[in-house]
Structure 1
Amino acid sequence: MEVFTTAWRAILANPMRSILTALGVIIGVASVVALTGIGSGTTSSITRSLEGLGTNLLTISSDANSRTGLVQQSTRATLTRSDLRAIQTFSPQRIQGVAPTAQTSTQARRDGENLSVNVIGSSPDYETVRNSTPEQGSFFTMNDAQGRRKVAVIGFEVASTLFPSEDALGGTFRLNNQTFTVVGVLEDKGSSGFTSPNTQVIVPFETFETTLGREQNGNINSIYVQAANEKDLSDLQLDLTDLLDARHRIASEADRDFSIQNQADVLQSLSTITSTLTLFLGGVAGISLLVGGIGIMNIMLVSVTERTREIGIRKALGATPLGIRTQFLIEATLLSISGGVIGILVGLGLAYGVGALINTPPVPSVSSIGLAFLFSLGVGVFFGYYPASRASLLDPVESLRYE
């Protein structure tokens, strides 16, 4: 216990130098904790957003430009109603839901208010397949679709813009000079890329064909397929690819006029990319710890030189080389540990501060915090050992003569 007290006294004797010495460790640990927390939070946020658009999902898109390895937004719809029926009847026990979509952009208007919206024509299955259960009201029904009724489920921003001071449910608005009745309002889903789910207007596919998408001639932009079993997702993707290849008479992959995207593959790729980036940033931040360790070694060497006479007196009074080495090693370790604890607190503060600015809650990792702390401890021991050994090897007679 006495050796710890002595070490603390030596550290507190030069508070400014001790703080500057520990600063490298503080910056390194804070950077590791903040970057890994923000990186994990971003990964979790994007994953939740994708899963919020539907789970166990396959997305079949029209007009895939396989020759260049790119999938572009459809310029021509190559999926037909007969393709849709073939997919719906392909394997009912393996497919939980099928939702075709056709899309267009237009202006939604009501009482002088207008908003640019993305209109989606789809089936009632869209509600479950794309996780779009209305927060208010309900989704349109099969009777609505078969009757080509002008009903719509609208996004949160559409409701707040067109109906700023009243309940949107049951209200009417206009699309392409056609009057639609609101039957459901979606929850606030935030922004996502160039388009926001909050500015979507979802109408029955049959209604879309007759009022908004006549130029599509019954063709479909994309078809969402929800698998009954997540483990069957990859096999179902291969089977549906074979089905459409046969229907479209595709001889080779280069001629394929559609693409099928597996949501699980997208999530896995995203997780791999973000994890790699987080590790890279954490590694860069870890360099600060090494720099901090070198700073600790330099200051401890200076401290040994300044306290040469003190070391000589202690040895003359019976202090052993092991005792001298232990004292200086504990001083270096205490400096490093203190820097590590302060760094963790600063890093958590930075992570939550930046998370609030970018509206993405961080996910601090206990393992990364523990690893950063252990690394700071290791830095103190590793870089403090040489100065401690040097102090323990000083000749007591020469030390007493040192001025």
Structure 2
Amino acid sequence: MKQARISTGTQDLPMRWWSDAKTPGAMIGGIVSNAFAAIGSNRQRSILTMLGIGIGVAAFIAIVTLSQGATDSFTSKLGFLAQTITVSRARNATNTSLTLSDRDVKILSQLQHVVAVSPTISDEAEVVFGKKHWSTTLSGVSFSYLQMQNVSIGSGAWWSSEEEQSRRHVVVLGTKVVENIFGQTGIDPIGQTVRIGAQLYHVIGVIEPDSLLGNDGIYVPYTAVYTPSKPNQIAQISIQVDGTDNLDTVQTEIQMRLGQLHHIATDGSGGFDVTEAIGQLKQTQQQLGMLSGFMSSIAVISLIVGGIGIMNIMLVSVTERTREIGLRSALGAPPSAIAVQFLLEALALSIISGGLGLGLGLLMGYGLSSLLNVSFIVNTSSFLIAFGVSTAIGVGFGLYPALRASRLDPIIALRSF
């Protein structure tokens, strides 16, 4: 049996969704079918409307993916600092004669719960090999610095405790230093001798590219450059504790020992700053979270703008389809069925655009994560949030046009014929 059709001037849709419906399921199926038919009859307008939601969802997914990846990379690469305490000369210290010394390093390394200690002596230096030379930063650190900073050696090795105690002049180079003084020579830097300042050093290792220590820098045993008579040579002492639960205990003990060694207040205040790196880590994580939240709010604004676009197109659709609404009402379609149809049209627009935006967002997130060299993490919650927001926008911004359509007076609507 051929179905009757409604000619509305803007579209030609079957009447089966109320005239042939024998069951609630059939009626709902007809409404859904008609909703998609209405969207298809105005493809260009529907596509432009979906772009707003799709771009908003894509931006949201990309931001969430990128922020989660950045946080994970930050935690995995710098999480070891959570067990680190740093000691440095206080900026507001009144006693200018207070300096950190090799004696402080040895005494602090003997404290309970301390597993590694490294001073840091920093200076500008020029590395020379043959006719090649490169200006960089020299860092004098201990043999345990490699473990404390979670650093990987690309080739060669780090120096040992014995080499440090014997004050051997060995050096580990950053990859950028190697590129600039060995790059075009084809010579393996391991085993070569370079001049740093007035002293010759034996190259024993090269830092792995993209290491946390950075590519541009050189590292030598602090004993090779430490001069006891030179004031403020040790910039800071890094101390690794065996667990975060012991941080406060070790910090208190450090303050007491420094107070005894340097004859200052028993808590060590006024002379040295003793800080836990975990506080700086938490602060950085909070900053990352704030940045992510700010960027997400911009994406939400884009979603709201897209929702307004859906409301606008649905209001225009109600106006264009006044004849159709009047005829359907006159033939017995209940207001609820008319409202549901227009609401489903808005919902379909938002869900389809949300799905497309989700796929685009994942591609954007993957591309940005690869570009910035951070982990690519797909969280199920981001999927749920994206579809949840898309559905909420479809219902929220489609509800008013749907109610407006259902409340049209059939007599007034039929007068538009």
Give 1:90's match in structure 2, choosing from 111, 115, 124: 111
Query: Which whole-Å CA distance do the structure 2 matches of 1:393 and 1:80 have between them?
Result: 85
Give 2:187's match in structure 1, choosing from 142, 150, 166: 166
In the alignment, is residue 320 of structure 1 matched against residue 329 of structure 2? no
Shift of 1:252: 9.1
Residues 285 and 218 (structure 1 numbering): CA distance in 2 closer, same or farther, change over 3 Å? Answer: closer
Structure 1 residue identity aligned to 2:286: T
What is the aligned partner in structure 2 of residue 121 from structure 1?
Answer: 140
Normalization by structure 1: what TM-score? Answer: 0.87
1:308-343 deviations in Å (ceiling 9; x for gaps): 111122223332222111111100100111121122
In the alignment, is residue 28 of structure 1 matched against residue 37 of structure 2? no
Structure 1 residue identity aligned to 2:120: T
Greater RCO (Cα-Cα under 8 Å, separation 6 or more):
1
What is the aligned partner in structure 2 of residue 309 from structure 1?
Answer: 323
1:243-300 deviations in Å (ceiling 9; x for gaps): 2234333349896232223222221111112112211221232122222222211211
Conserved? CA contact 1:67–1:254, under 8 Å: no
What is the aligned partner in structure 2 of residue 243 from structure 1?
Answer: 257
Shift of 1:30: 2.1
Conserved? CA contact 1:300–1:384, under 8 Å: yes
| Aligned-partner SS, 2:153 | coil
Q: How many residues align?
A: 386
Structure 1 residue identity aligned to 2:177: V
What is the aligned partner in structure 1 of residue 380 from structure 2?
Answer: 366
Structure 1 residue identity aligned to 2:311: M
Q: Structure 1: which 5+ runs fail to align?
A: 69-74
Give 1:58's match in structure 2, choosing from 85, 88, 97: 85
Residues 383 and 182 (structure 1 numbering): CA distance in 2 closer, same or farther, change over 3 Å? Answer: same
Query: Which whole-Å CA distance do the structure 2 matches of 1:320 and 1:146 have between them?
Result: 92
| Aligned-partner SS, 1:98 | strand
| Aligned-partner SS, 1:140 | coil
Query: Which whole-Å CA distance do the structure 1 matches of 2:97 and 2:72 have between them?
Result: 35
Within 5 A, what are the aligned runs for 1:1-400? 1-51=29-79, 56-61=83-88, 63-66=89-92, 78-91=99-112, 94-164=113-183, 165-190=186-211, 197-209=214-226, 216=230, 219-251=233-265, 256-400=270-414
Structure 1 residue identity aligned to 2:288: T
Residues 177 and 80 (structure 1 numbering): CA distance in 2 closer, same or farther, change over 3 Å? Answer: closer
Structure 1 residue identity aligned to 2:87: I
Structure 2 residue identity aligned to 1:337: I
Normalization by structure 2: what TM-score? Answer: 0.84
| Aligned-partner SS, 2:116 | strand
Query: Which whole-Å CA distance do the structure 2 matches of 1:138 and 1:218 have between them?
Result: 29
| Aligned-partner SS, 1:58 | strand
Query: Which whole-Å CA distance do the structure 2 matches of 1:250 and 1:17 have between them?
Result: 76
Larger radius of gyration: 2
| Aligned-partner SS, 1:100 | strand
Structure 2 residue identity aligned to 1:279: G
Structure 2 residue identity aligned to 1:161: N
Conserved? CA contact 1:116–1:199, under 8 Å: no
Residues 219 and 21 (structure 1 numbering): CA distance in 2 closer, same or farther, change over 3 Å? Answer: closer
1:126-178 deviations in Å (ceiling 9; x for gaps): 22222235232222123222322211122222233333213221111110132
Structure 2 residue identity aligned to 1:35: I
